[in-house]
Amino acid sequence: DADVTQTPRNRITKTGKRIMLECSQTKGHDRMYWYRQDPGLGLRLIYYSFDVKDINKGEISDGYSVSRQAQAKFSLSLESAIPNQTALYFCATADGLIQETQYFGPGTRLLVL
Amino acid sequence: GNSVTQMEGPVTLSEEAFLTINCTYTATGYPSLFWYVQYPGEGLQLLLKATKADDKGSNKGFEATYRKETTSFHLEKGSVQVSDSAVYFCALYTGNQFYFGTGTSLTVIP
Q: How confident is the model at residue B17 (pLDDT cuts 50, 70, 90)?
A: very high
Give how far B57 is from chain A: nearest CA, Å.
13
Please give the full DSSP string across A73-113, using - where no structure is assigned.
Answer: EEEEEESS--GGG-EEEEEEEE-SSSTT--EE---EEEEE-
Q: Is A106 on the interface with B (CB under 8 A)?
A: yes
Inspect the interface and report whether the beta carbons of B42 and A42 lie closer than 8 Å: no
Partners of B45 on chain A (C-beta within 8 Å) are 104
Q: pLDDT averaged over consecutive 10-residue blocks of chain A (113 residues)?
A: 88 97 95 92 92 92 95 96 96 80 92 97
Q: Is A47 on the interface with B (CB under 8 A)?
A: no
pLDDT for the residue numbered A12: 97
Which residues, including other chains, have CB under 8 Å from residue A39's CB and lie 6 or more apart? Answer: none
Q: Does B82 have pLDDT greater than 70?
A: yes
Inspect the interface and report whether the beta carbons of A48 and B97 lie closer than 8 Å: yes
- C-alpha A88/C-alpha A111 separation (Å) is 9
Helix or strand holding residue B45 (H, E): strand B44-50
pLDDT for the residue numbered A40: 80
Q: What is the pLDDT of residues B21-75, one digit of tens each?
A: 999 999 988 899 999 999 988 889 999 999 999 999 999 999 999 999 999 999 9
- A39: nearest CA partner in chain B: B102
pLDDT for the residue numbered A99: 61
Q: Does B96 have pLDDT greater than 80?
A: no
> What pairs with residue B100 in β-bridges?
B91
Percent of chain B with pLDDT over 70: 100
What's the one-letter identity of residue B35? W
Strands A19-25 and A73-78: antiparallel
Give how far B110 is from chain A: nearest CA, Å.
26
Partners of B95 on chain A (C-beta within 8 Å) are 99
pLDDT for the residue numbered B20: 97
